[in-house]
């Protein structure tokens, strides 16, 4: 599996984690009322789920696949934005 495949799998994993986090906050909101604690727990959960994001780097130059300049995007680059290497 290439680094792009791993990064793509991580992107799908994060989509699932985001869905779970939104459902968690919605369910807590529905049954216990508005809770900033539930929101904080969902954010911490998303940060924990996303802890490997910085490990998906170009094997040639080390640029992270999820960064486009200064911005982080939810889908990885297929081609390295720095050295132009094909990552798939």
Cβ proximity of 61 and 80 under 8 Å? yes
In a 13 Å sphere around the CA of 29, the CA atoms on its Cβ side amount to: 12
The single residue among 38, 58, 64, 66 that binds Zn ion, judged by CB under 5 A, is 58
Least gap, CB of 70 to Zn ion (angstroms)? 17
CA–CA gap between residue 7 and residue 74 (Å, rounded): 10
**Does 60 engage in binding with Zn ion (CB under 5 A)?**
yes
**Does 78 engage in binding with Zn ion (CB under 5 A)?**
no
Q: Enumerate binding residues for Zn ion (CB under 5 A).
A: 58, 60-61, 63, 80, 82-83, 85
């Amino acid at each position: 599996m290439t680094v792009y495949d791993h990064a793509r799998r991580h992107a799908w994993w994060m989509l699932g984690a985001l869905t779970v986090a939104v459902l968690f906050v919605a369910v807590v909101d529905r049954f216990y009322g508005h809770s900033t604690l539930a929101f904080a727990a969902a954010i911490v959960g998303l940060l924990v789920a996303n802890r490997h994001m910085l490990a998906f780097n170009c094997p040639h130059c080390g640029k992270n696949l999820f960064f486009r300049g200064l911005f982080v995007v939810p889908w990885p680059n297929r081609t390295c934005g720095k050295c132009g290497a094909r990552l798939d």
